[in-house]
Structures are given as C-alpha cells and as structure tokens.
Amino acid sequence: MRARDLVSDFPTVTLDTPALEAARLLADRDLPGLIVVDDRNRPLTILPGTQVLRLAVPRYCQDDPALARVVDEAHADAFMRALGSKTVRECMPEQPRELAIAGSHATVLEMAALMARIHSPLVAVVDSGRLVGAVTLRALLDHVLAA
C-alpha cells in the first residue's frame, strides 16, 4: 500500500486566496488542513487546521498566553474579523520547515511518520512535483486499522 493507493482529491488554495475564504473552506468542508499551490499546481505549503487558525490570532498573542488572556472579548472578535482583510500570502509561516509532502510511492509508514513528526493531519501527494491529491490522517488510520 502506497500513497497513490490512499490518495483522494483535496481542495486547494493559492497565495491570493482571501484568508477568510480559506478559513471558511476549512470549516465548511471539515478539512484537516489546507494545501497552498502555485499556478502550476505545485504545493507551496501545507497548513494544518491549527495553523490556519493562526491566521486569525495576532502574533503577540500566539506566544504569550497572558496577553491572550487579558485582551477582552470585544477586541478578540475584532482580531478574528481581521482575517477578512488578509490573503493566504500574508499568513504563510515565516520560517521554512519540513513540508507535509510525499511522492506517490511513499509507504504508509513513511506518511504516518511524517504526519506524527511534523504534526500534520494531512499529506499532499505529488507526482513529478504536481499535486495529485492528499492522504488524510483519517484515511491513513482507516487503512491501518482495517489491516
């Protein structure tokens, strides 16, 4: 069993997708994350759901729980709404990190180790660099538990 056997279609966003639209896509379709592709359908990054949420949280609150605690609720709602004026481009992680991308020949174990290591509930599957689809944690667990 390889990535190509577990892969399924997965919606994508681009750098120009409004952040609010990206967040709605995630919520409405109950996705584990989002795949950001370039104009040639090559994955640029994979954003787990928790990192899409990061788009809506002011940076100074992300690393300091005390600040998030003292910002009152009216302000918090305003911050959340600030999503609407950003695009995915402005929300990309600053530091490059290992990406949740695997070739179509990747083994189940390889994908499981990747998901566990980088905390990503989905892996983008590529063939010659182009996106084929995604393997979700759910699909992988279903396969493992049925084995």
Question: CA Rg, the chain, in Å?
Answer: 16
Please give, one letter per residue, the 3-state secondary structure of the chain: CEHHHHCECCCEECCCCEHHHHHHHHHHCCCCEEEEECCCCCEEEEEEHHHHHHHHCCHHHHCCHHHHHHCCHHHHHHHHHHHHHCEHHHHCCCCCCCCCEEECCCEHHHHHHHHHHHCCCEEEEEECCEEEEEEEHHHHHHHHHHC
Within residues 28-67, the interface with a second copy by CB under 8 A covers: 30, 32, 48-51, 53-54, 56-57, 61-63, 65
Q: Figure out which of the listed residues 9, 16, 69, 95 binds a second copy, where binding follows CB under 8 A.
A: 69
Residues 86-145 that bind a second copy (CB under 8 A): 106-110, 112-117, 119-121, 137-138, 140-142, 144-145
- Give the shortest CB-40-to-a second copy separation in angstroms: 25
Interface with a second copy: number of residues (CB under 8 A): 55
The smaller minimum CB distance to a second copy, of residues 38 and 141, is found at 141
- Min dist CB 30 to a second copy, Å, is 6
Q: Which residues bind a second copy (CB under 8 A)?
A: 1-2, 20, 23-24, 26-27, 30, 32, 48-51, 53-54, 56-57, 61-63, 65, 68-69, 71-73, 75-77, 79-81, 83, 106-110, 112-117, 119-121, 137-138, 140-142, 144-145, 147
